[in-house]
Amino acid sequence: MKNKYTPVLIIIMIFGFVWVFLLVKAGMERVKGENIMNKKTVVAEADKNASPPDVETAIFAAGCFWGVQEYFSRVKGVIKSESGYTGGTKKNPTYEEVCTGKTGHAESVRVIFDPKVVSYDRLLQHFWELHDPTSLNKQGNDIGSQYRSAIFYTNPEQEIHARSSLEKLVKSGRYSQKIVTEILPAKEFYTAEEHHQNYLKKNPYGYCHIDLRKATDK
């Protein structure tokens, strides 16, 4: 004799299987969606941290980096300028350590620029203009090897241009004293502490050994 409840049980079982199937499918779709979002986030983060295309980097030392950074930030075609330390031997030096003169680092500025707007040669002209390249380990009121004059080239082409610009400056007879600017391959650049970044924007009347008006001269 057939159980009168059998058809009902079969229907319940069918609905149960369908419900489980739908739950599993929904879960798989949710995981897939999360994976897609995670991939998009990773790509977005990578894009955000990537350097803009067709930009170049120059590194200069010309005394206290407060003024040098502010100067280059005003030059048309410069995308970003950062104060930091380079040319020494100690990893991740602090400002206080660099000031002792024992780390070998120079207060420097890393300049990110668009070569289609401002050439490296033009930046070199600004570099020669903004400080005294005949002053050994001294600019303005600052004295010490950390305030030396230096060009740190980031590729062989920059070295050629830097040495050529130095040669032209020497031949020009502009300076009666010897130019002491170093021209060296770029080493690790250590970004200075946050309170040193854009110092003169935060402190408009702070110390500066540079005539900032020249940055925007045509």
pTM (predicted TM-score): 0.76
- Catalytic residue numbers read 64
Report angle CA 141, 173, 143 to the nearest 5 degrees. Answer: 15
Mapped onto helix, strand or coil, the DSSP state of residue 96 is helix
Please report where in the chains the tokens 């001269």 appear, as a residue: 217
Provide the 8-state DSSP code for 196.
G
The tens place of each residue's pLDDT in the chain, 218 residues long, gives 455 556 656 666 666 565 556 665 655 666 455 554 444 443 344 344 445 668 999 999 999 999 999 999 999 999 999 999 999 999 999 999 999 999 999 999 999 999 999 999 999 999 999 999 999 999 999 999 999 999 999 999 999 999 999 999 999 999 999 999 999 999 999 999 999 999 999 999 999 999 999 898 75
